[in-house]
Amino acid sequence: MKPPAIAIDGPAASGKSTVAKLVAKELGYTFINTGAMYRAIAWYLAQQGVTPAQREKIAEMLPIMPLDFGKEGTVSTVLCAGKRLESELTEPVVNDRVSLVAAIPEVRAFLLHKQRKYNESEAVVMEGRDIGTVVFPDTPFKYFVTASEEVRAARRAAQGLTDSISERDKNDRERACSPLTRAADARVIDTSDMSIEQVVAEIVNDIKAKTQTLA
């Protein structure tokens, strides 16, 4: 039997990364941050002087990029030529371009395969925009984590980041390929007035209840 996959989707700064990490810890599953995968590609392309408009060139480069998507302990990692990417992933050029890069169908197809591969051998909590709709459409564990625009902007500012999340969300929602949208069977959690602990508890309890029903 395939190991379980927990899908956590939502807009930027909705709190889904923090929540997904804690849910993974509580369940003992591996946490996979798919935004970091798109960010790594956006960063590498910028390093190479390639803009998101150069779709054909990007499609050619994908299979030969020196990027590795692995994990350390129970957390996903992205490496470039063996070096772990961290602060690079939130550089201004990445924040500006990542949603344009993530709209390229070839990029999405390339990463879809790698994202599904993580779940072949282990249980995962995967966080992103299209996990419940495209990556694991058959999982019974789907959560759409959201918060009001004001709360999300405040959370972003508290992280010291000043990128325009509303513009990025607009791009993510309006793209033709795998847009940010709630799966019809996802449980929606508005975190605007909730603590992180409350959100984690709601998701973990729901997973446990569903697991018992499905057993």
110 neighbors 60 (Cβ within 8 angstroms): no
CB of 208 to ligand DC, least distance (A): 25
Tell me how far CA of residue 93 lies from CA of 39, 42, 61, 97, 194, in angstroms: 10, 8, 19, 6, 32
What is the phi/psi pair of residue 184, to 5°?
Answer: -55, -30
Query: For residue 201, how far is the Cα from the chain centroid?
Result: 20
Provide the greatest CA pair distance for the chain: 52
191 in Cβ contact with 199 (< 8 Å) = yes
Query: To the nearest whole angstrom, how small is the minimum distance from the Cβ of residue 38 to ligand DC?
Result: 4
Smaller CB separation from ligand DC, 21 or 168: 168
What is the closest distance, in whole angstroms, from the C-beta atom of residue 130 to ligand DC in the complex?
5
Residue 162 Cβ, how far from ligand DC at the closest point, in Å?
A: 14
CB of 120 to ligand DC, least distance (A): 18
User: CA–CA separation, 54 vs 73, rounded Å?
Assistant: 36
* Cβ-proximal residue to ligand DC, closest one: 35
Which phi and psi (to 5°) does residue 105 adopt? -55, -40
Our CB check for ligand DC shows the closer of 104 and 207 to be 104
Q: Which is nearer to ligand DC, 169 or 202 (CB)?
A: 169
Q: Which of residues 105 and 205 has its CB atom nearest to ligand DC in the complex?
A: 105
Pick the closer one to ligand DC by CB: 113 or 214: 113
Distance CA 56, CA 15 (A): 34
Helices 149-158 and 165-174 pack at an angle, to 10 degrees, of 120
CA distances from residue 20 to 24, 29, 48, 139 in whole angstroms, order as listed:
6, 10, 32, 16
Q: Using CB under 6 A as the criterion, which residues of the chain lie in contact with ligand DC when the complex forms?
A: 12, 34-35, 38-39, 98-99, 102, 128-131, 168, 172
User: What is the smallest separation between the CB atom of 137 and ligand DC, expressed in angstroms?
Assistant: 13
Return the number of the residue (137 or 209) whose C-beta is nearest ligand DC.
Answer: 137
